[in-house]
Amino acid sequence: MTARLPEALQQKLAERLRFYEDIGIGGFYRERGNPVASPDVVDRVAAEAVNPRSEEVSLPKRESKPLPPPPLMASVAPKPVPLTAPTGLSLFETLNKIENDSLPLIRENLGDCKRCKLHKTRNTIVFGDGNPNAQLVFVGEGPGADEDEQGLPFVGRAGKLLTQMIEAMGLQRRDVYICNVVKCRPPQNRQPEPDEVAECSPFLLRQIDTIAPKVIVCLGATAAQTILQTNRGISHFRGEWQEFRGRKLIATYHPAYLLRNPAAKSDVWKDLQKVMAELGLSVKRKAT
Ligand code: SF4
């Protein structure tokens, strides 16, 4: 007795195969003599689609940090956060002085932010999303229309591609943290302007410090240039390890660029393979 894969699952598999072909992994075939999956295979594949961890990922264990109490319930009111560096201290040094910083506290400090002109056209502040103890943080440029609508980073077409890339690494979105340089959508998706980046980036740096990932992946030039404080074009250092405050950082192309230039996907995949090696990630397929 045989059964067909559910249509939604067929579509998911087709998307995944297209993605692998785009990044240069091909040669998939279906065995002759087994043209249609048996019901137990259908059940197993469907279960794996629901729980993609059936592709076992060995990710080195990391001690999870105890979460601080929610700011509003803290017995001591949080100290005001100095966002402007006092004389004699660099901004980075100042940021180091924020004690007991946490993502909820950073979000609270951001508040209903009107620090730059982007607040006038946004619908929602897109703070960031994912695992607060992630070993891997992706940083993009700024929210687009879908993100502005939903309040979550990378949920549009480019976000779908980023999700595929994360899954190709053997991870899920919930394993990593994703955020942007600016938290409000620039009108017409233009690049954020220097004054906007200057106002918003201290919050990004605090997010990175608080999460303390092992690896930061900058998606596109704006993220890389902001964090590394450089004007160099991304093509000069894409795919090369950089150091950022004791952490490893690599810059690669933004998924939105890949949607316009699919040929660059294989470059990005090479960069992500370096990240996988650094994190000790290996994808082991279960024997069937
Ligand atoms: S982009 Fe950043 S600094 Fe500007 S209004 Fe939004 S949250 Fe505030």
pLDDT at 100: 86
Distance of CA 33 from the midpoint of ligand 1 (Å): 59
Please say if the pLDDT value at position 3 is more than 80: no
Of 174, 181, 165, residue with least CA distance to 130:
174
Q: Which DSSP category does 36 fall into?
A: S
- 193-218: average pLDDT: 97
3-state secondary structure of 72: helix
Please say if the pLDDT value at position 97 is more than 50: yes
Share the mean pLDDT of the chain.
Answer: 79
Over pLDDT 90: what percentage of the chain? 63
Pick the residue whose CA is nearest to atom 3 on ligand 1.
Answer: 200
106 lines ligand 1 (CB under 6 A): no
Q: How confident is the model at residue 10 (pLDDT cuts 50, 70, 90)?
A: confident
Q: Which of 15-19, 42-46, 73-77, 162-166 ranks highest by mean pLDDT?
A: 162-166
Can you tell me which atom of ligand 1 is nearest the CA of 114?
5
* Amino acid identity, position 222: T
118 lines ligand 1 (CB under 6 A): yes
Please say if the pLDDT value at position 40 is more than 50: no
Distance of CA 204 from the midpoint of ligand 1 (Å): 11
224 lines ligand 1 (CB under 6 A): no
pTM of the prediction?
0.72
Pick the residue whose CA is nearest to atom 2 on ligand 1.
Answer: 200
Q: Virtual CA dihedral for 114, 67, 223, 59, nearest 10 degrees?
A: -160
